[in-house]
Structure 1
Amino acid sequence: MADDIFLTPEEQDERARQWLKDNGPALIVGVVLGLGAIFGWDYYKTSQLEKAQAASTIYAATVAQVTSSELADVSTKVDQLKSDYAATPYAAKAVLIKARQLAQSDLDAAFTELQWVIDNAKESGLVHTARVRQAKIRLEQGDLDAAKQLASHQPSEAFTSHYSEVLGDIAVEQGEYTAARAYYQAAVDGLVEGQSAYAQVLSLKLERLPEAESVSADDQSASE
């Protein structure tokens, strides 16, 4: 206070002791909380780093196993990543590997695994990858409406080409070759750096398109 300058040293000491007596507990609590927040944050960061490292190790083992044999059973490792390390990108990446394996024999099971990625992955690239693959599964199953709905999501720039290609494939199945041509061309135009080699695949799809739309049997009968 302003009148402290008029107190004797003894009186100032007594006032200081009284202030500590009145405010000391709150001061100690504040210090403890502050230190707890600092050390708590450090512990959290360390814990997260350790989790990421553990998940990375399991994922690397998964990749090595599949590299050794495409038919290797990675279920145990993938399930462990899903249950213990779902918040890491390694879990979603491992699930994508498992879904690719399942797609060889069980499309519905593969679709379910891909949905896990969509529901749990934090990285948009992994989510888009899973959704594009889901669209391809529905296309392979002949569910063109579901495939088109999945492929019609607003993509990030890196996935514009992938979505456009799937929409082109759907249009081909529907006999809408003009639309297919537009989608394939959009896929070519949407290629980003690092995807240029895939332009040959898209160009081949464009070259194989019929020039005219397909004519249904009913339309042909009517014209006769």
Structure 2
Amino acid sequence: MEVYSNDNEQVDALRRFFANNGKALAVGVVIGIAALGGWRYWASQQESSAKAVSAQYQQLTSAMQADKPQTLEAVSNFANENSNTYGALASMDVAKQYVDSNQLDKAAMQLQNGLKDTKDANLQAVINLRLARIQLQQNQADAALKTLDGVKGDGWTAIVADIRGEALLSKGDKQGARDAWSKGVESDASPALKQMMQMKMNNLS
């Protein structure tokens, strides 16, 4: 490290440094400013795009009616074109309409597509739970049990236990159903859900 005896030597040293390295520093500053500007532009574009997708989702789902197939198709197309949270939500909205009209195959397919559009664990859990219930209505107990295995998180334990019990009972496995509901009753479930599962266990007797 150089030691300077007075301020003049320090100033001369700085001058020499900038004379030798000024161009490189200037280029670095320009690149840094350009990168910051580019990032801000990208962030602004992302925000604008998200707002546009949100507005389109609200508009399409508000107009959706079961007796107007073209509105269902519009929301379904939106879901196919948006591999994000809004696409997953749109798939759930369309699936609900199909369930209400007893088109369970279409509802299940819609939910399966929605699963691919989100990485959010809670949203995936909700979709899987709805899908398992539909599969149960379709007498596909094994498929429902497999779907339930995809639900992660302690917060869903009771609901999973309730559906799992129904699936096992539909297969004739009363002990399995009892074990599932018992686990649900012992979990941190709502009082109403605990009472319902307890009643189901009592009915097994």
Q: TM-score, normalised by structure 1?
A: 0.71
SS in structure 2 of the partner of residue 74 of structure 1: helix
Question: Do the aligned residues in 1 keep the contact of 2:92 with 2:127 (CA within 8 Å)?
Answer: yes
Over 3 Å counting, the alpha-carbon distance change for 1:22 and 1:122 in structure 2 is: same
Does structure 1 residue 125 correspond to structure 2 residue 119?
A: no
Q: Distance in 2 between matches of 1:113 and 1:86?
A: 13
1:130 to 1:175, Cα distance in 2 relative to 1, 3 A: same
Q: Residue 136 of structure 1 contacts residue 147 of structure 1 at CA under 8 Å; is this kept in 2? A: yes
Match of 1:183 among 180, 185, 189: 180
Matched-pair contact (CA < 8 Å) for 1:148–1:170: yes
* Distance in structure 2 (CA, Å) of the matches to 1:143 and 1:153: 16
SS of the aligned residue for 1:2 comes to: coil
> Which of 72, 97, 102 is matched with 1:101 structurally?
97
CA contact (8 A) 2:157 2:187 kept: yes
| Equivalent residues of 1:134, 1:147 under 8 A apart | yes
Percent sequence identity is 24
**Could you tell me how far 1:124 is from its partner in structure 2?**
0.9
Q: State yes or no: 1:45 paired with 2:43.
A: yes
CA displacement 1:130-153 (0-9 Å, x = unmatched): 112222233223232222121133
Alignment-derived partner of residue 2 in structure 2: 2
The letter for the 1-side match of 2:125 is: H
Change (3 A) 1:54 1:160: same
**C-alpha separation between the residues in 2 aligned to 1:36 and 1:48?**
18
The alpha carbon displacement at 1:43 in A equals: 2.4
1:31: Cα distance to partner? 1.0
Structure 2 partner of 1:149 = 146
Runs of at least 5 residues in structure 2 that lack an aligned partner in the other structure: none
The aligned length equals: 201
TM-score, length basis structure 2 = 0.77
Given that 1:65 and 1:74 are in contact with CA atoms closer than 8 Å, whether structure 2 keeps it comes out as no
Unaligned regions of 5+ residues in structure 1, if any? Answer: 212-224
Against the structure 1 CA distance between its residues 80 and 210, is the aligned structure 2 distance closer, same or farther, given a 3 Å change threshold?
closer
Question: Over the residues paired in the alignment, what is the CA RMSD in angstroms?
Answer: 3.2
